[in-house]
């Protein structure tokens, strides 16, 4: 009933285009009503919890009192603490590591997935294709604790089962075993490599799906024009899945700040801390484990803001380049 009133009463006074909009709204009322629960869900679970940010401005002690009553308000003290002094150096280092590890992972795994998808798209034997797909998906279902365990063995000395060292030595690429996990400059690579191994097959799924949607006519036409296999990949397949690639890249930029907890946490050690420690590990160490929840929330706020900026930026750039955008 309420809707009817809205529609009728002001209809006489408002300009025509507004009236038209309302009409559209009315005609889509069923859809709007259906979206209400989802909207409520988003508000309840994504926006309401933001009240917890109040903790960032308090000397928060859990247990005895609620967030709003009885906690001591300290203004921006926690922000000052996190971004300055010794703590600040650590945090900035963690920030750089987070961005660095994530970007490297993103680039390596995107390129890897596209290459694998292209290759599988060319495979004619369905059985072989299925086998390869299944093998490459498999690691996705392993938990990170298992994967990091495997990585640490694989990269160990030959005497501890480090087959990568054994392999490199038998190929005479190196003469002495390399301690991959105690050299800071390798750590980002270890992160990207582990991610590539684990997620390669999984990441190809969307690209493969996009490729099946490409019209066979295009390939036929190209063949008639004398294009070879590589030419077709380059001029037809890749441009056709470009929107998918762009959208996935934009969406993944949103995760840049929040991926990579497990590998630095499980494989990081004192020797490589300078390149291993990410924001999430830092927050766990100095926030949760020391019971300093306020500091953890400050770091969380910072992460959220940076993530929003990154996604916005990627979206904007993409739009400027005339590509797909999210909104």
Partner 1 sequence: MRKTSKRLALALALTLPLSLAACAGQDEPDSGSTAPALAADDPLGDASGTLTPQNPTTLSVWLTTSQQVPAPDNKITQLLKDKLGVTLEYEIVTPDNVDQKIGVMLAGGEYPDLIGTTDLKMRLLEGGALLRLDDMLDSGDYENLATHVDGYRGKMSYTGGEVDDGLYIFPNYNRVYGEVTGGTHYGTAFWIQKRVLEDAGWPDITNMTLDKYFGMIEDYAAKNPETDGQKTIGFELLTSVGYEWGMTNPPAFLSGHPNNGGVIVDDNDKATIYANTDVAKEWYTKLNEEYNKGIVDPESFTLTHDQYNAKIATGAVLGMHDQGWNFQTSTQSLQAAGQDSYTYVPLMPVYEGAEPYYADRDVMNTNQGFGISSTTDKSEQAMRFLDTMLSEPWQKVLSWGIEGEDYEVGDDGMFYRTEQQRTNGKDLTWRSSNRLDALLDVLPKHNGQFTDGNAYSPDDQPDEFYATLSDYDKTVMEAYDKQTWRQFVNTPPENAVYYPAWSITLSDEANEVNQQIADTTVQNLPKAISGSVADFDANWQAYVDTFDQIDVKVYEDAINAGIQDRIKNWSE
Residues 182-241 that bind partner 1 (CB under 8 A): 182
Site string for partner 1, 275-314 (x = CB under 8 A): ---------xxx-xxxxxx---------------------
* Phi and psi torsions of 215, nearest 5°: -70, 130
Spatial neighbors of 325 by CB under 8 A, at least 6 apart, are 250, 315, 318, 319
**Nearest to partner 1 of 23, 61 (CB atom):** 61
Between CA 25 and CA 20 the distance in angstroms is: 9
Of 1, 86, 171, 173, the one binding partner 1 by CB under 8 A: 86
Q: Is the dihedral of CA 298, 299, 300, 301 positive or negative?
A: positive
Nearest to 54 by CA among 286, 294, 283, 292: 294
Q: Is 157 in the site for partner 1 (CB under 8 A)?
A: yes
Give the shortest CB-180-to-partner 1 separation in angstroms: 9
Q: Which two tokens stand for residue 251?
A: 């969406």
Q: Is 273 in the site for partner 1 (CB under 8 A)?
A: yes
For every residue of 110-178, DSSP letters joined together read: HHHHHHHHHHHHH---HHHHHHHHHHHHGGGGS-HHHHHHHHHHHTS-GGGT-HHHHHHHHTTS-SS--
Bridge partners of residue 58, in order along the sequence = 73
**Nearest to partner 1 of 101, 294 (CB atom):** 294
Bridge partners of residue 59, in order along the sequence = 72
* Phi and psi torsions of 123, nearest 5°: -70, 130
> Among 28-36, 124-132, 151-159, 201-209, which window interacts with partner 1 (CB under 8 A)?
151-159
Q: Is 57 in the site for partner 1 (CB under 8 A)?
A: no
CB of 231 closer than 8 Å to CB of 74: no
> Among 103-111, 192-200, 209-217, 264-272, which window interacts with partner 1 (CB under 8 A)?
264-272
**Nearest to partner 1 of 19, 90 (CB atom):** 90
The number of CA neighbours under 13 Å toward the Cβ of 111 is 7
Q: Is 181 in the site for partner 1 (CB under 8 A)?
A: yes
Q: Is 93 in the site for partner 1 (CB under 8 A)?
A: no
CA torsion 233-238-244-250 (nearest 10°) is: 140
Give the shortest CB-151-to-partner 1 separation in angstroms: 11
**Nearest to partner 1 of 6, 290 (CB atom):** 290
> Among 55-63, 71-79, 133-141, 216-224, which window interacts with partner 1 (CB under 8 A)?
55-63
Q: Is 159 in the site for partner 1 (CB under 8 A)?
A: yes
Q: Is 269 in the site for partner 1 (CB under 8 A)?
A: yes
Binding footprint of partner 1, residue count (CB under 8 A): 29
Interface positions with partner 1 (CB under 8 A):
61-64, 86, 90, 152, 156-157, 159-160, 179, 181-182, 266, 269-271, 273-274, 284-286, 288-293
């Amino acid at each position: 009933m309420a809707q009817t009133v809205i529609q009728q009463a002001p209809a006489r006074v408002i300009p025509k285009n507004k009236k038209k909009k309302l009409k559209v709204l009315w005609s889509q009322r069923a859809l709007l009503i259906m979206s209400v629960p989802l909207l409520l869900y988003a508000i309840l679970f994504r926006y309401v919890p933001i009240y917890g940010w109040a903790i960032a401005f308090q000397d928060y002690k859990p247990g005895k009192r609620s967030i709003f009553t009885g906690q001591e308000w300290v203004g921006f003290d926690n922000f000052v603490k996190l971004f300055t002094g010794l703590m600040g150096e650590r945090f900035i280092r963690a920030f750089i590591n987070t961005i660095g590890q994530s970007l490297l992972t993103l680039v390596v795994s995107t390129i890897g997935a596209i290459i694998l998808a292209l290759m599988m798209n060319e495979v004619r034997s369905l059985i072989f294709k299925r086998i390869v797909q299944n093998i490459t998906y498999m690691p996705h279902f392993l938990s990170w604790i298992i994967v990091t365990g495997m990585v640490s063995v694989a990269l160990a000395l030959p005497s501890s089962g480090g087959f990568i060292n054994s392999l490199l030595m038998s190929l005479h690429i190196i003469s002495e075993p390399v301690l991959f996990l105690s050299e800071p400059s390798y750590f980002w690579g270890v992160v990207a490599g582990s991610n590539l191994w684990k997620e390669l097959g999984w990441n190809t799924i969307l690209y493969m799906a996009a490729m099946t949607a490409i019209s066979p006519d295009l390939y036929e036409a190209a063949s008639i024009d004398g294009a070879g296999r590589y030419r077709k990949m380059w001029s037809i397949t890749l441009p056709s899945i470009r929107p998918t690639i762009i959208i996935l890249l934009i969406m993944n930029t949103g995760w840049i700040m929040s991926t990579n907890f497990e590998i630095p946490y499980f494989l990081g050690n004192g020797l490589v801390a300078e390149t291993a420690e990410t924001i999430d590990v830092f927050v766990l160490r100095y926030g949760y484990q020391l019971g300093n929840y306020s500091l953890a929330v400050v770091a969380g706020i910072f992460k959220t803001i940076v993530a929003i900026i990154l996604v916005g930026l990627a979206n904007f750039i993409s739009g400027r380049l005339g590509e797909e955008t999210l909104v």
